[in-house]
Amino acid sequence: MFINNQNITKALSVSAFALLMLTASCKKDFLDVPPQAQQPSTEFFVTSEDATRAVNSIYANLREWKQTAFAAIAVESIGSDETEKGSSATDATFFNAYDNFTVSSSEGQLNDFWKAQYQSINLCNQVLDNVPNIDMDASLKNRYLAEAKFVRAYNYFRLVRAFGDVVLRLATPKDATEYNLPRTSKTEVYAAIEKDLTEAAAVLPQSYSSADIGRATKGAALGLHAKVALYQKKWADVLNYTNQVMGMGYSLFPNFEAQFRIPNENNSESVFEIQCQSLPGVSGASNSQYSQVQGVRAQSGGGWGFNVPTQALVNAFEDGDPRMDATIIFRGETTPQGDAVAATGDNPRYNQKSYVPFTRPFVQNEGEDQNVRVMRYAEVLLMNAEAANELGNSSQALSSLELVRARARGSNSSILPEVTTTDQNALRLAIWHERQVELAMEFDRYFDVIRQGRGAEIFGPKGWQANKNEIWPIPQNEIDLSTGVLTQNPGY
C-alpha cells in the first residue's frame, strides 16, 4: 500500500496489444474508477502524463489475480516441501496435481501464470517502444524506460525458472509475422534479463521521495541481477552485485514479524515489494488477493486458507527460533495483533507473512492492502554469503550469514548460535538452511531446491522426477494457439 499522496497510480490492464486506460489519481488508493476506454498506442503515447500513466500501469499489473494469487501459488509454491494446498479437501483440487507433480499441460493455472507474465511484458514493451518518441523531460524519460526494463526482467525471470526456454519478445509485434514466435533458449533469455537489469541499474535512483515509494530502484535492479546470477551459478557476479547493494544503506528491520505488517511496508529492509491496495467492487486486474487466498479459513476477517505451511517447515526451524512463530499461524493461537485463531478448522497452520489482522476485513471480498515482498535485504545478505562461500571466502560468508541470524536471535543468546564452520560444504548447507527458514513462505523454496540440485532428494517422496520436473509443462493452450510453433518440455 502506498503511504503518501502522489504515489504510483493504479492504471491500465491489457487486452491483446491495446492499452486499457484508467484515469489517473493522486491519492494513495491509486485509482478508484473502473476502466473507461481503450486507445491504440499511437493515439495514447503523446504527452509526459501518458508516459506516467503507462509506467504506472506496469506496477498496477504486478498485483493482479494471476500474478499474486492462485497461479503464483501453483507454479511457485505448492510443489515445495514447505507448503501444501490447504483450504478444504474438496476445494480447488487442481492444486493437488502441482503438489504431487502429476499436473498436465492443460491445467489452467499454468496458462494463467504464462499469460500474466506476457501481459506484463507487453506493458513494458509498450513503454519501451513508445515513450522514447514523447517530447518530455529527458531524465524522467530515461528513468521510466529503466523501470520498464526492471519489471520486464522480473517477468522473464519468473518465466525462465518456471518453464526453461520461453518466447523472448522484446518489442510489440508490428505485423502478423511477429506474433507467433518460437521458444528462445534459457541461456539467451537469461542474457536478455541481465542486459535489462544492467541498463536499469545504470539509470535508476537509489531512493525516491515519498511521492514515488514503491518504484524500482538501483538496489532492486542490482538485487534482482544478483538473484538471476545466483540461478546461473555466476558467483563472482552475485558477490559483486550484492556487495553493491550492501553499500546502499539498507538494513534489517529490527522486528522480524513486524516487518510483514501493513504499517511497516517499504521499510529499511525492503529492496522491492509489489504495492497492493484493494478497491470495493473491483477485482482481478485492479486488486490484490494475495493475502485473501492465504488467510485463515472459516474465520471472520480471515481468508480462503490456501498455500499453508507443512509440518516439514515447522521441523526445519531450530529450537527456539522466533521466526517459526512469526512465519506460521498455528490453529488455536493468538497472533501478536490480538487475533484469536479458532482451535478447530480444516488446517493446522497458515501463512503468517501474508496475514492481515481480522480487524481489517477484506474489501467486499475483493482483496487486501498487504504488499507482496519480492526481495528483502535479508535475501541479499544470504546471496552474498552463498557466493562468498562458493568463491572460498568463508570469512565474508560467515559475516553476512551472522547478520541474518543475529537479527533473528535478538537479545536471546541461548538460541541460534553463530555459525563458525569454514568447511565449504558444511557452510553451504548452513546457508541453504538459513534461506529455508528466513525466506519461508515467500515463494522461493521450490526453485531454491531445484537450483541446488536437491529436487530428487527433497521432493522425490512427493513424486518429483529428475530430468522432467525441474520445469513445468508449457501450457497446452499456448502450443495449440501457436499451431505447433511452440514445443513442449520433455516428459510432458
Helix 138-163 × helix 108-130 angle, to 10°: 160
In tens, the pLDDT along 93-118 reads 999 999 999 999 999 999 999 999 99
Could you say which DSSP state residue 166 is in? B
Q: Say if residues 489 and 159 touch (Cβ distance below 8 Å).
A: no
Per-residue pLDDT reduced to its tens digit, 440-492: 999 999 999 999 999 999 999 999 999 999 999 999 999 999 999 999 999 99
144 near 51, Cβ under 8 Å? yes
13 within some domain: yes
CB neighbour class for 264 (10 Å; exposed up to 12, middle 13-18, buried from 19): middle
Q: Are 31 and 120 in contact (CB under 8 A)?
A: no
Look-up: residue for cell 504506472? 56
Q: Residue 319's closest CA among 408, 448, 383, 254? A: 408
Residue at 263 is within a domain: no
Asked if residue 200 lies in contact with residue 157, where contact means CB atoms within 8 angstroms, the answer is no
Residues contacting 133, CB < 8 A, separation 6+: 45
Does 3 reside within a domain? yes
Find all residues with CB under 8 Å of 103, minimum gap 6, and list them.
97, 110, 472, 473
Question: What's the structural domain count of the chain?
Answer: 1
Q: In what side-by-side order are the strands of the sheet with 18-21?
A: 13-15, 18-21, 37-39
- Give me the torsion for CA of 236, 77, 315, 463, rounded to 10°: -100
- Write out the residue range of the structural domain in which residue 50 sits: 1-204
With H, G, I as helix, E, B as strand and everything else as coil, classify residue 330: strand
Q: What is the CATH number of the domain that holds 52?
A: 1.25.40.390
Per-residue pLDDT of the chain (492 residues; tens, 9 = 90+): 222 323 333 333 333 233 433 323 322 333 233 343 455 666 799 999 999 999 999 999 999 999 999 999 999 999 999 999 999 999 999 999 999 999 999 999 999 999 999 999 999 999 999 999 999 999 999 999 999 999 999 999 999 999 999 999 999 999 888 899 999 999 999 999 999 999 999 999 999 999 999 999 999 999 999 999 999 999 999 999 999 999 999 999 999 999 999 999 999 999 999 999 766 666 555 578 899 999 999 888 889 999 999 999 999 999 999 999 999 999 999 999 999 999 998 999 999 999 999 987 665 555 678 999 999 999 999 999 999 999 999 999 999 999 999 999 999 999 999 999 999 999 999 999 999 999 999 999 999 999 999 999 999 999 999 999 999 999 999 999 999 999 999 999
Asked, for residue 470, whether it belongs to a domain, the answer is no
67 is a domain residue: yes
Phi, psi for 112 (deg, rounded to 5): -65, -45
How far apart, in whole angstroms, are the C-alpha atoms of residue 408 and residue 327? 12
Would residue 31 count as lying in a domain?
yes
CA distances from 437 to 315, 382, 395, 455 (A): 10, 12, 22, 18
In the 3-class helix/strand/coil scheme, how is 21-89 assigned residue by residue?
ECCCCCECCECCCCCCEEECHHHHCCCHHHHHHHHHHHHHHCCCHHHHCHHHHHHHCCCCCCEEEECCC
| Rounded-to-integer distance, Cα 197 and Cα 184, Å | 19
Global confidence as pTM: 0.92
